[in-house]
């Protein structure tokens, strides 16, 4: 499994923990629903700006988010 796939699974899991739909996450984050779908499926890698928006919208602490990125 690639890092992009792992990140996508973590994004989806966190979104579901918050009982959010992709549409709701799109509204909160300013990222299109289609882009979120591609990220969750691992079809597309995020930009730094997208990562920042997702971290904020999903209310993830910096340290946890770094682990998502396999950086920590």
3-state SS, one letter per residue, for the chain: CCHHHHHHHHHHHHHHHCCCCHHHHHHHHCCCHHHHHHHHCCCCCCCHHHHHHHHHHCCCCHHHHHHHCCCC
pLDDT value, residue 72 = 42
pLDDT value, residue 53 = 96
pLDDT value, residue 32 = 98
**Can you list the residues of the chain whose pLDDT is less than 70?**
71-72
For the chain, list the domains and their CATH numbers.
3-66 (1.10.260.40)
Whether the model pTM is above 0.85:
yes
């Amino acid at each position: 499994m690639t890092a992009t796939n792992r990140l996508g699974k973590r994004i989806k899991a966190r979104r579901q923990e918050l009982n959010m739909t992709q549409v709701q996450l799109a509204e909160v984050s300013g990222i299109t629903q289609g882009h979120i779908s591609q990220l969750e499926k691992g079809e597309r890698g995020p930009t730094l700006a997208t990562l920042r928006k997702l971290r904020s919208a999903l209310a993830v602490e910096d340290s946890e988010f770094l682990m998502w990125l396999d950086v920590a």
